[in-house]
Structure 1
Amino acid sequence: MSAWVEHVIWWQVFPLGFVGADKELAGARPAPHQLSRLQGWLDHLVALGANGLALGPVFTSRTHGYDTTDYLEIDPRLGDGTDFDALVAACRERGIRVLLDGVFNHAGRDFPPVRAALEGGAGSEAGRWIRWSDGHPYYFEGHDQLVALDHGSVEVQDHVVEVMTSWLERGIDGWRLDAAYAVPPEFWAAVLPRVRERFPDAWFVGEMIHGDYQDYVHRSGLDSITQYELWKAVWSSLRERNFFELEWTLGRHRDLVADLLPLTFVGNHDVTRIATQVADPRHVAHAVALLFFLPGVPSVYYGDEYGLRALKEDRAGGDDAIRPEMPGAPSEVADADAGTWSVYQRMIGLRRRHPWLTRAETATSGVANEQLRVHAWSAADGGRLTLALNLGDAPSPLPEGAGAVLEAGAPVLAGAVAPHSWAVVEG
């Protein structure tokens, strides 16, 4: 894996939502150069302490971006290739890495090879592009607008190699691979070596919601996966005041980090906002502290740093609230929570001062329903820190012999973490 990944902190954006694009490409209002709006937020990204821009779908699609119809063109609702190149150049000027979202498990019905396959049938030459089940097209998770590609097809493999290398040539640094859990790992094992021949420093992270993360990475050749297990344990333990759940998951996370470097997050474009999920506003900062204290490659979903709230709903349009339009400048954000912004800045700053946290060894102590201590250390760097979490109504003592307080949600008095607070201490 490339050395730069050890130091990247992503700021993830869902572009179609961010710019307020029309929901469907057909009949969309002319809105050229919308992608350029993101350039006005790059200094915000840097001020936050991040140095990576992880973009959701930017390729031409019929609706939400995950029904791709042209993998080599920017969606007209966002702009064009010139706008994209300008955004990448602006990122380069600031030392910002760029990650693209590749939807290679399935494609939209209007993707030309898919359209030809649907018209020609399973026995046609184009039919080799898509998966069939008893002579019928296979649809991803039952959505008839998302046609599953045939990953055993040489045509599909060649196309994905072309797409990946084309955008890497234009300056991106890697790929998030959508719905990787639904793609046979052998597909990536066939594709990625061909891409790495030309771009050995590229990073590939697969979306894994469930399954055996380590086995999939080993068989596929991916660099990383999305750590959904940890995401679930963080918000659930905070909401239910049950740190036993988090402690158990941290054991699995420890084993995972020993083998690979997962992408960690407390929010993304597919889930309820962390400030809504946790429910108790006093405990949102605990999630932020965990994100940047625990090992992995952290990612911040746009707006979470302001404490934005939104609920994902299982209905048509149920993702709209969690993929909001943003104003032209960060200073224009309504309902921004300065306290949440401060926690993000301070904890990212701590992460920068202790870069060994990315691969830290960890252990826990003092576990109770409402209290937990997470210890992190690096034998190579000699660093050792403790994150003490308290969800209770009474102060919680720091571990005996704890050193200086580096960051905290509230002042640490008499060697104890304040009620509903947290602290990072030396030792």
Structure 2
Amino acid sequence: MERDVVVHLFEWRWADIARECESYLGPAGFAAVQVSPPSEHAVLSGHPWWERYQTVSYALDRSRSGTLAEFQDMVSRCEAVGVHIHVDAVINHMTAQTNGTGSNGTKFTKYEYPGLYTMSHFHQPLCSIQGEDYTSSAERVQRCELLHLADLDTGQAEVQDEIADYLAGLVKMGVRGFRIDAAKHIAPAELSAIVAKVATAVAPLDPPYYFLEVIDRGGEAIHASDYLGVGEAAGSVVDVTEFKYDRVSNAFLNAGGATLESLDALVAASDMLPRDRALVFTANHDTSRAGAIFYGDGALDELAVTFALTFPYGHPVVLSGYAFDRSTDAGRSMGPTSDAEGITLPIYAPGTNAPSCATNLVDAAPGAWLCEHRRRFLPNLLEFRRATKAAPQIANVWKNGNQIAYGRGDRGFVVFNRTDAPLAQSLPTGLAPGSYCDVYGGDFSAGGCSGKTVTVDAAGRATFDVPAMSAIVLHVQAKL
């Protein structure tokens, strides 16, 4: 089974991810799980989600997602059902706190991390990134402190060796890939040196896959394209996050007057990364808290995800986290439901065979697990991607403001209706004549369809009746 879609199980426990791989992700056809940073992290008052991004050491013994043994068990069990583990790796910086005790008991002060780093391993002289630096000084963005986090001098061979040892150790445990957090704040040449050292350390195993978080929405001193050469010399596969893909979210939200009509241009947008090198998402754990489309937008969020999984641009990551209050700073910072020590509580209740998921995502109480990746239509969209892989271009494009349709050769066809009224439209599809199951509104199995069917005539045309704020998705593997 061919797979390419990653799900980010944001803040899930290792034990629960292992069960989810076996019970759902493997059978559904997901390629990989992006997991939260497993390294020892600071323990902060109130346990905000971002405490995981304040590294104290590279030990895996205890984070709020579980123990080293549970982490290894997760990796092995997910791999056994064909689901890779991708680790969110925090390697640009350590903590912002002046002192404290990490999740595994390590006592530290800022710039002094026992057995790992001392003051000499951080960029000198100390400086903080200012707002204007992002548009005027790549050097300051890559050597000064982000949000007062102790900024590692990743140009030093000794620092590169420590980071490479951490990543290589994870690869030897079976981890297949990494999201490099804050990669924009590390010079491309320094990242390439680290990637090369990992490749050497893990040989004869294959080098891991990487995708680099490089926030570039235009007008930046640092460009996402600056990182396209990272890893080439080491033979590593490295993709880069395309933050200009927020055009999709903006279109579905109609933000700034944007409509769906412009989205077909993404396939060849000259100001975006090459589509085979772009890592894309409609929402991640940051943007969902910062005003972009998110689970609280209901049908609009579902339609945006459907677009990302049916349109041939980039490699998609689907976010799946927990509910939070976006109206306050405290609500946006809230971590997952945990015990007094900050250890995340189980998502699979004892004796159950499925995670405890909110039934109504829009109205879910803060802290409820959303299980967005378990929305009924998602496995059908993964099947659509497999069915249309041989047709990487779009064809038979039709657009009308907040309505758009496109085909994938003779392999699939999609119609979106982001209006408050039903859409009735006859369109050329490129599909062979016959009856097809709409796998957005229903499921195809054993030659039958639980939802509506669409008939394509001898000329390849079909009449689509699309409800308000909905879509129709057809593909050749769901032909009756």
Shared fold (TM-score greater than 0.5)?
A: yes
- Bin for the TM-score computed over the shorter chain: 0.7 to 0.9
User: Partner of 1:256: helix, strand, or coil?
Assistant: coil
User: Partner of 2:404: helix, strand, or coil?
Assistant: strand
CA contact (8 A) 1:407 1:425 kept: yes
- Hey, what does 1:301 align to over in structure 2? 319
- Hey, what does 1:31 align to over in structure 2? none
User: Partner of 1:65: helix, strand, or coil?
Assistant: helix
Summarize deviations over 1:50-88 as a string: whole Å, max 9, x none: 131211111111142111111132334333221211111
Taking structure 1 as reference, are residues 354 and 136 closer, same or farther at Cα in structure 2, changes over 3 Å only? closer
User: Partner of 1:50: helix, strand, or coil?
Assistant: coil
CA contact (8 A) 1:405 1:424 kept: no
Q: How far apart, CA to CA, are the structure 1 residues paired with 2:411 and 2:93? A: 45
Q: What is the CA-CA distance between 1:9 and the residue it aligns to? A: 2.2
Taking structure 1 as reference, are residues 372 and 76 closer, same or farther at Cα in structure 2, changes over 3 Å only? closer
Q: Which moved more, 1:388-397 or 1:149-158?
A: 388-397
- Hey, what does 2:414 align to over in structure 1? 387
CA contact (8 A) 1:239 1:277 kept: no
CA contact (8 A) 2:3 2:30 kept: no
Q: Paired residue for 2:209, among 180, 203, 208?
A: 203
Amino acid at match of 2:243: Y
- Hey, what does 1:422 align to over in structure 2? 471
Which protein is richer in helix relative to its size? 1
Question: Alpha carbon RMSD of aligned pairs, Å?
Answer: 3.7
- Hey, what does 2:164 align to over in structure 1? 161
Summarize deviations over 1:7-41 as a string: whole Å, max 9, x none: 332221223xx34xxxxxxxxxxxxxxx3233232
CA contact (8 A) 2:198 2:207 kept: no
Q: Paired residue for 1:373, among 385, 405, 414?
A: 405
Taking structure 1 as reference, are residues 387 and 134 closer, same or farther at Cα in structure 2, changes over 3 Å only? same
1:347 aligns with 2:347: no
Q: What is the CA-CA distance between 1:184 and the residue it aligns to? A: 0.7
Structure 1 segment 7-406 matched on structure 2, within 5 A:
7-15=3-11, 18-19=12-13, 35-42=14-21, 43-63=23-43, 64-108=51-95, 115=109, 117=111, 126-133=118-125, 140-141=145-146, 143-144=147-148, 146-197=149-200, 198=203, 199-210=205-216, 211-219=222-230, 221=232, 223-230=238-245, 232-240=246-254, 242-252=259-269, 256-257=273-274, 260-272=276-288, 277=294, 281-295=298-312, 296-303=314-321, 310=324, 312=326, 315-316=329-330, 318-320=332-334, 327-328=347-348, 330-336=354-360, 341-356=375-390, 360-362=392-394, 365-377=397-409, 384-392=411-419, 393-400=421-428, 402-403=430-431, 405-406=436-437
Amino acid at match of 2:401: N
Q: What is the CA-CA distance between 1:253 and the residue it aligns to? A: 8.0
Summarize deviations over 1:134-157 as a string: whole Å, max 9, x none: 67897633x33x211112111111
Q: How far apart, CA to CA, are the structure 2 residues paired with 1:424 and 1:130? A: 52
Q: How far apart, CA to CA, are the structure 1 residues paired with 2:389 and 2:438? A: 16
CA contact (8 A) 2:215 2:224 kept: no
Q: How far apart, CA to CA, are the structure 1 residues paired with 2:127 and 2:423? A: 65
Q: How far apart, CA to CA, are the structure 2 residues paired with 1:242 and 1:333? A: 32
Amino acid at match of 2:183: A
Q: How far apart, CA to CA, are the structure 2 residues paired with 1:164 and 1:226? A: 20
CA contact (8 A) 2:86 2:176 kept: yes
Q: What is the CA-CA distance between 1:171 and the residue it aligns to? A: 1.0
User: Partner of 2:170: helix, strand, or coil?
Assistant: helix
Q: What is the CA-CA distance between 1:317 and the residue it aligns to? A: 5.4
Amino acid at match of 2:378: Y
Q: What is the CA-CA distance between 1:131 and the residue it aligns to? A: 1.5
Q: How far apart, CA to CA, are the structure 2 residues paired with 1:311 and 1:140? A: 28
Q: How far apart, CA to CA, are the structure 2 residues paired with 1:366 and 1:172? A: 42
CA contact (8 A) 2:426 2:463 kept: yes
Amino acid at match of 2:316: P
User: Partner of 1:7: helix, strand, or coil?
Assistant: coil
Q: How far apart, CA to CA, are the structure 2 residues paired with 1:253 and 1:45? A: 35
CA contact (8 A) 1:60 1:69 kept: yes
User: Partner of 1:214: helix, strand, or coil?
Assistant: helix
Q: How far apart, CA to CA, are the structure 1 residues paired with 2:78 and 2:39? A: 19
User: Partner of 2:210: helix, strand, or coil?
Assistant: strand
Q: What is the CA-CA distance between 1:252 and the residue it aligns to? A: 2.2
Q: What is the CA-CA distance between 1:48 and the residue it aligns to? A: 3.6
Taking structure 1 as reference, are residues 216 and 312 closer, same or farther at Cα in structure 2, changes over 3 Å only? farther
CA contact (8 A) 1:367 1:373 kept: yes
Q: How far apart, CA to CA, are the structure 1 residues paired with 2:127 and 2:30? A: 48
- Hey, what does 2:367 align to over in structure 1? none
CA contact (8 A) 2:438 2:453 kept: no
Taking structure 1 as reference, are residues 417 and 227 closer, same or farther at Cα in structure 2, changes over 3 Å only? farther
